[in-house]
Structure 1
Amino acid sequence: MASKHAWKIELVPWDHMSPEHVQRMYDQRVACGWREQEVPLWVEAAKKGGKIFYWAFLSEAVPDREELLKKHTEKYPKEATPLRDTAAEIRLVPRQPTNAEFVPIGHVAVDIHEPEEDAKLGLPTTGTIWIHQLYISRALHRGGFGAGTMAKIETLATQDPMNAKIMALDTISKEMQTVSAFTDILYGEGEGQIPLPSVSNEDWYTKLGYNAFQREKNAFTSEPKQGVTVSIDLVYMKKVIA
């Protein structure tokens, strides 16, 4: 069933060759609280036709659009300056950028993994597309913009050149987002605390039609703050989209 929120969001490719786009990606990852140090790696991956990001921005059809943008930029003043659609390629496939201005309120990435990786997880080695690094401004949560972004990226992934049949993703396990011993480490405490999610990632993706099919303990180590590391448990989820 199509998302009732898809109309709220438009997508435009991240321009990994633009200093302004790269800086904005860094700023949004800092706001997200995860993996800002990986932005240079994503630039290099994009140059080779790998993982590609899309900016999410509010559709002109959103009735309170200007008020929402003000809410976003007041919380994140570094993001007040619009970007322009300047990406000249998507996964090495040329495109004609529009040069239109937009203010991204978040982003999402899609990638194609090696067939061996998909096979190891019991996924089809062709037609499986992965979603990564979904982020929506914390000033605009609970407005349906995350669901709208997911709906738009799913539709885009079914088209050339990706031709997705299954969307897959991995996310932090529900348990790690609901046990205080983990949340204090992952989200911080006091003035510097990142707001805790109102619903776990796993439950949120389940509501969007994704099904958990595998779990992995201690999948990778994260350093949420200097000198503090934690092993992250992942849940793998998938959804048939075509």
Structure 2
Amino acid sequence: MLPKANHRQMIQFVQDEFVDVQSQYEDLLYDYTILKEKVEDKEGQLVLCASLEREFLKPYIDLFKEMGISISSIDILTNSVIKLTESIDKLKNQSYILTAINGQDVNHYLFINGQYEITNRTRVFSDRGTVAFITELSNSLTKLLQFTKGTYKDQQLSQVYFAGLEKYEEDLLMSTISANLDIKTSQFEPKNYTCDSNNGFPIHQYLMVGNLWTCIRETMISCIEEQR
């Protein structure tokens, strides 16, 4: 929670949030986005803070420059996911979990009434496509569902969306989790968020890596990992 302030003051507040790790890095850049301007029973606003070394960006900037692509913004993964989900009408008032799988790494994004709440990160050690993998993933979702029921007592999650699954593992994984956890599951597949709506680009498989989404009014590139 941070107090309301102008941009310069907000950047200073963000720097203060990273004071414990500043000495470990050089030439840090800071940024933020306001998630909630008002939080019930609390003072201030809920802010997502980010920090990284300037040098970390250089290879990405050079790469796109060599390709002749102009970068309008660079964002962290979580904020890119938030922006994407906010642009999808059917998700705006929905309470759901978006589970993004990248190799053995799993990010569960929790949204309540279309509003981003938390990210739960875990690593699954079993091989992809196996029953053991599904069991581990199911266990991590169970913990998040229990947390949600305890924290958001008046809310009912409607669905778990999956991104990053391969074709061979989709049906068994989603049907098993749906049956075990008694919740609807489906592939996260936003329409019309590719360069060509007819090109069959599987955006759901690339949510966890550097994503390029071209919308009507903005181009958003997420190609850096969060440090916090």
Same fold (TM > 0.5): no
* TM-score between both structures, scaled by the size of structure 2: 0.32
* TM-score between both structures, scaled by the size of structure 1: 0.31
Mark the structure with the bigger radius of gyration: 2
